[in-house]
A and B are shown apart, each in its own frame.
Chain A
Amino acid sequence: MIGTNFLSGANSRLLPPSIPFRFFTVAMICYLLFWLALFFNAGNVTSYIIGGGPMLSMIHIATLGVLTMTVIGASLQLLSVATRKAFEGYWILRLLSRIYIPGFMLLTYGMYASWHIGMMVGAIIASIGLLIFFYLIINNIRGVQGMGAIMTHCWAAMLSLLGLLSFGIMLIMDMEQAFLSDHMAAVLSHFLLAVFGFMSLLVMGFSYILVPMFALAPAPSEKIGRWSIVFNILAILMLLWGFNSPSLFIVTGGVAFAIAGCGLYLYAMIKVYGARMRKRLGTPFLLIRVGWLMLALTIVWGMGGIFGFWPDTGHALFGVLAIIGWLLTFLVGILQRIIPFLSSMHTAGSGGIPMLASSMADERLLKVNAIGHLCGLGFVSLGVILDMDMIIKIGAALGAIGAAGLLCYLLSVVRHLVLNQPEKL
């Protein structure tokens, strides 16, 4: 008999902490770097549309650095438990980090310095890393019985990953060779597949497990999840078609499907939240709820853009709402909950009783993070709306303070794990 130690086989499915935590640590460093980059580039935020340089690098520090690293770390750990299929070996997970992280660094440096060769080589290396991730996920979810809605989200996200990588490589090649007939359509397609296809679909899919698990509520109806993913896939396909045809009519249809898909997702999440057993959910769920609000605002604002209601800075506000408001806010909220949860599980082996996360790190740092992040989001959004660099700078500085808070929290937890659980690392 075993107590709070893991039951049969669970240790093999709970990854060594060094694997998810290496992705989370890099993600948190990138999170701080992103706000600092925003501070130093505040003057270019509202005018930037396309092209290499610090703005392109900054956007990819957020998407490939913070969001993708977090999604990789969380999905590797979550999927192996949910599907009851352990990964073939940890070496391939470590290889993924050893290829993807340097590739990402070279790519974002190449973008920053407008160094085309560096950008291209970095993109190829990072793509190899992401293709390993693609292989791991597809191999894990293939043939899984049940959890149809979640598995469909994963399949759609992985296919979007292939699409976004293809558009990304083509866009870098096009910077030198100018072979694309419509560079802007390719940029929009790359953005759509990355932000709404790959990352949002993975985030939404895992929400159906993670949000009820953290809130202690019954999982939402499978039927809602299935319809939501069907509408979201149709939205992405129609938007891709509409951007590349180009056709306002088809784009409008795509937005209508996006409203239906995201609306169903938000409805399911609100129901879960309302049925929760855990009444005090703390700062993680404050961030998660703001993330949901920002998703709704992103869709509404995107619709405004399609019908020509955007001011000159409308595209920048759309990027802020989608990347910082929805994805970054939501994932930081999830990380605030996952870090203590995972670290607590990894300490369960010694003496059988999981250690409380509060004894590993100062939880006030999570409040610093939430306040800094939300104030940062608010000021940056206001600065973009008013087109005032100084307000964006204030927002970026507040966001950086918040990010430093979460990084310090994570490093305290990692330090504790290194000192107390070296055999598990």
Chain B
Amino acid sequence: MTGEDRPEWLDEISADDCVKLDVRPILASGADPLEQILAKVDTLNPDGILLIEAPFNPLPLRRMLAGRGYASHGVPLSPKHWQVYFKKQDTADLAPLPDLSDLPAFPFYWHEGMLQMDLRRLEPPNPMVAILKVIESREGGDSFMVRLMRDPIYLYPELSERNWHAELLEEGNDGLRVMIVKGHKE
């Protein structure tokens, strides 16, 4: 199971400090918990953090709330138990997220002013398409961070053609952390 980088807004926050909603019994009964989640979101105060307990990583929900200005962080406790934290961001400082709604959902958020995309669960060639869509949308800035499972070797000619390049920052058993940067490598 692959973990996400813990954001600063979760520092010194415990589960007890959050507004909680366990959607597992709702899903188990066959009902859709979306309305109850949105009702909880509406009751959050500006600094409040919502903690959703779910039987899977709720990527479509995370994407939907990201569109409303909520950053999220998922923690896999077991294959069938995820804790996902949501916090409203200061939207005045954040550019809108590029529209990648035609791709399967994946963690995708702003972190310290840099766009972060965790593409490890996408199958090829979707990671390459996601990266190129962000570049072509011009909404991801001059550099952004991606997490990948595969060396994106087929991406390089495409990056070069667009005057961008890739820089490997970290490699481990849980994949690669790669910075995609505008301009050719110096």
Interface of A toward B, CB cutoff 8 Å? 1-4, 6-10, 13-14, 81-82, 84, 146-147, 209, 212-213, 216-219, 222, 275, 277, 341, 344-345, 348, 352-354
Contacts and interface: CB of A to CB of B under 8 A. Distances in A.
Contacts of A14: 153
A81 B123 CA distance: 12
Interface of B: 102-104, 123-126, 128-129, 132-133, 136, 149-154, 156-160, 165-169, 171, 176, 178, 184-185
A37 B185 CA distance: 50
B171 A4 contact: no
A216 B157 CA distance: 13
Contacts of B158: 216
B132 A216 contact: yes
A8 B176 contact: yes
Contacts of B152: 7
A223 to B, nearest CB: 12
A116 to B, nearest CB: 46
Point out which of B102, B156, B158, B171 has the most chain A C-beta atoms below 10 A from its C-beta.
Answer: B156
Contacts of A341: 154, 157
A354 B167 CA distance: 15
A82 B104 CA distance: 18
B125 A10 contact: no
Contacts of A344: 157
B153 A354 contact: no
Contacts of B154: 81, 213, 341, 345
Contacts of A209: 124-125
Given A13-B151, A352-B185, A212 B125 contact: yes
Contacts of B178: 7
18 contacts: A2-B167, A3-B184, A4-B185, A7-B171, A7-B176, A8-B168, A13-B153, A81-B154, A209-B124, A212-B125, A216-B128, A216-B158, A218-B102, A218-B103, A218-B126, A219-B124, A219-B125, A222-B123
A147 B102 CA distance: 19
A13 B157 CA distance: 16
A244 B129 CA distance: 46
B120 to A, nearest CB: 11
Contacts of A212: 125-126, 129
A82 B129 CA distance: 15
Contact of A345 (B104, B156, B184, B185): B156
Contacts of A219: 123-126, 129
Given A81-B151, A213-B128, A348-B157, 18 more contacts: A1-B169, A3-B184, A4-B156, A4-B166, A4-B184, A7-B176, A13-B153, A81-B150, A147-B124, A218-B129, A219-B124, A219-B129, A341-B157, A345-B153, A345-B157, A348-B156, A352-B165, A354-B156
B171 A8 contact: yes
B178 to A, nearest CB: 7
A212 to B, nearest CB: 5
B156 A213 contact: no
Residue in A3, A8, A146, A353 whose Cβ sees the most chain B Cβ within 10 Å = A3
B160 A2 contact: no
A277 B126 CA distance: 12
